């Protein structure tokens, strides 16, 4: 590294970075007229670039500054300013103004800073509306990408009453329960306002003057962040419907005659539990979605729903397009397996736990009300995998096996 013995040696070196370059500042003694001449030159250059004067209301800061200064100096131009005005923007050279009259150019644009004239102030609302000649864009008055209020208020699924096709299975149960109520063997209690009624399969209720039997409590979904189940309710007049638990609670809260029929004991310890429950039958079904959503359509051949129902499978999936648990789309039933003397709830839970490793982690459906639903009954499995699992359940050996998602087959555990 070289060492310097004096400042002269330093200054004699080449100034590679221009550190010693002296830049002259504008003279502080410059007159206002000199600065005005510079502004006139800048405005003329702006005119030549843009074909217009700078706007003192512009969103561009530099243009706004130039336009504001020009607005203040143009009314009393000096000889030097007129000499610098090569385009006649000050009105001194009318012939040089390109394709416009100088008077039109010199007339200042209206500004929000100006005080309105007396003729510009409306005297009434009628004056405002009568003078409104501007066309209003359709985008201002037309709602798009917004669901009309009438459709928002319409529920995605109506749990209407319809004839029960297998009412013969339940008819004797209603007759026996009616006899127990009349004899006092079973007690009823009114459903209190605000009471969060817990509903279980096999429960009896009195609703709208009819005995109602909870035949099935099926697919779990989430609405408003809370778990909700679809029910199958059979009525003593031979009709049935399929509301959500939350909808049933609301209906019971508005029915002053609604009653809950108490069980005489605690669950399976009750000797009459099996007499009140529907015979342990049902159907395991495997469904494939017909959804056109790209993330579902591209995996539809390996993505299947495993469900269990006590009713006719076709009836269960008839309203799939309005049910978030069916991905808000129709489905194809690709396989069914009959149950006999087995608890539907336990079998469904067993199958879901067995195939849990093949459950999609990011499957989310947004319903028509904007609520996010996480369907929990869809798995990346094939129908033959479910068929094999059903056989292992029938043999009592399912616990000795596990599903391997990497190999996509059922293997021996351990």
301 within a domain of the structure (yes/no): yes
Helix (H) or strand (E) holding 214: strand 210-223
Q: What is the pLDDT of residue 269?
A: 43
Burial class (CB in 10 A: 0-12, 13-18, 19+), 265: exposed
Dihedrals φ, ψ of 166, to 5°? -120, 40
Give the global pTM.
0.42
Q: What is the pLDDT of residue 288?
A: 94
291 within a domain of the structure (yes/no): yes
179 and 287 together in one domain = no
The last residue of a domain, from among 39, 73, 106: 106
314 and 404 together in one domain = yes
Buried b (16+ CB within 10 A) or exposed e, 172-203: ebbeebeebbeeeebeeeebeeeeeeebebbb
288 and 404 together in one domain = yes
Q: What is the pLDDT of residue 204?
A: 92
246 and 316 together in one domain = no
The last residue of a domain, from among 75, 106, 137: 106
71 within a domain of the structure (yes/no): yes
138 within a domain of the structure (yes/no): no
Low-confidence ranges of the chain (pLDDT < 70): 1-5, 17-30, 92-114, 129, 131-141, 143-159, 193-195, 219-225, 264-281, 368-369
295 and 271 together in one domain = no
The last residue of a domain, from among 70, 90, 106: 106
Q: Which of 334, 328, 320, 332 is nearest to 364 (CA)?
A: 328
Question: Which residue has tokens 């108490």?
Answer: 262
119 within a domain of the structure (yes/no): no
The three-state DSSP-derived secondary structure of 197-208 is CCCCCCCEEEEC
380 within a domain of the structure (yes/no): yes
How far apart are the C-alpha atoms of 101 and 96, rounded to whole Å? 10
124 within a domain of the structure (yes/no): no
Q: What is the pLDDT of residue 109?
A: 56
Residue-range definition of the domain harbouring residue 236: 153-276
250 and 350 together in one domain = no
Q: What is the pLDDT of residue 216?
A: 86
Q: What is the pLDDT of residue 221?
A: 66
Q: Which of 29, 60, 53 is nearest to 39 (CA)?
A: 53
311 and 407 together in one domain = yes
267 and 308 together in one domain = no
241 and 290 together in one domain = no
269 and 315 together in one domain = no
4 within a domain of the structure (yes/no): no
Total of domains in the chain: 3
Q: What is the pLDDT of residue 24?
A: 55
Beta strands in 293-388 (DSSP E): 303-309, 331-340, 365-366, 372-373, 378-380
CB 261 within 8 A of CB 177: yes
253 and 322 together in one domain = no
> Which residues share a beta bridge with 230?
244
215 and 298 together in one domain = no
């Amino acid at each position: 590294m070289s060492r310097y013995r004096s400042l002269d040696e330093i200054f004699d070196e080449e100034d590679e970075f221009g550190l010693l370059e002296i830049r002259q500042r504008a003279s502080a003694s410059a007159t206002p007229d000199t600065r005005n001449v510079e502004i006139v030159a800048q405005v003329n250059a702006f005119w030549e670039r843009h074909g217009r004067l700078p706007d003192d209301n512009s969103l561009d800061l530099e243009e706004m500054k130039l336009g504001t200064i020009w607005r203040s100096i143009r009314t009393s131009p000096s000889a030097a300013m007129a000499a610098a005005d090569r385009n006649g923007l000050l009105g001194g050279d009318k012939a040089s103004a390109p394709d416009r009259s100088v008077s039109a150019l010199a007339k200042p644009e209206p500004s929000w800073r100006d005080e309105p004239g007396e003729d510009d102030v409306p005297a009434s609302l009628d004056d405002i509306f009568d003078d409104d000649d501007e066309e209003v864009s359709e985008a201002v008055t037309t709602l798009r990408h917004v669901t009309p209020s009438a459709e928002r208020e319409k529920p995605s699924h109506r749990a209407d009453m319809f004839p029960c096709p297998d009412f013969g299975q339940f008819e004797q149960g209603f007759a026996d329960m009616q006899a127990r109520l009349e004899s006092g063997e079973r007690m009823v209690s009114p459903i209190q306002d605000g009471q969060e009624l817990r509903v279980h399969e096999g429960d009896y209720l009195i609703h709208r003057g009819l005995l109602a039997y909870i035949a099935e409590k099926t697919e779990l979904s989430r609405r408003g962040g809370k778990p909700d189940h679809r029910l199958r309710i059979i009525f003593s007049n031979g009709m049935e419907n399929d509301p959500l638990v939350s909808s049933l609670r609301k209906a019971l809260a508005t029915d002053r005659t609604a009653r809950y029929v108490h069980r005489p004991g605690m669950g399976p310890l009750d000797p009459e539990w099996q007499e009140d429950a529907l015979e342990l039958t049902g159907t395991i079904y495997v469904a494939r979605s017909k959804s056109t959503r790209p993330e579902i359509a591209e995996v539809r051949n390996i993505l299947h729903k495993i469900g269990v129902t006590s009713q006719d499978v076709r009836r269960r999936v008839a309203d799939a397009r309005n049910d978030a648990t069916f991905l808000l789309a129709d489905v194809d039933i690709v396989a069914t397996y009959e149950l006999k003397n087995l608890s539907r709830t336990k079998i469904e839970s067993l199958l879901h736990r067995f195939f849990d490793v093949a459950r999609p982690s990011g499957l989310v459906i947004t319903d028509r009300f904007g609520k996010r639903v996480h369907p929990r009954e869809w798995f990346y499995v094939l129908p033959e995998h479910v068929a094999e699992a059903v056989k292992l359940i029938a043999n009592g050996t399912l616990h000795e096996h596990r599903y391997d998602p990497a190999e996509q087959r059922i293997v021996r555990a351990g």
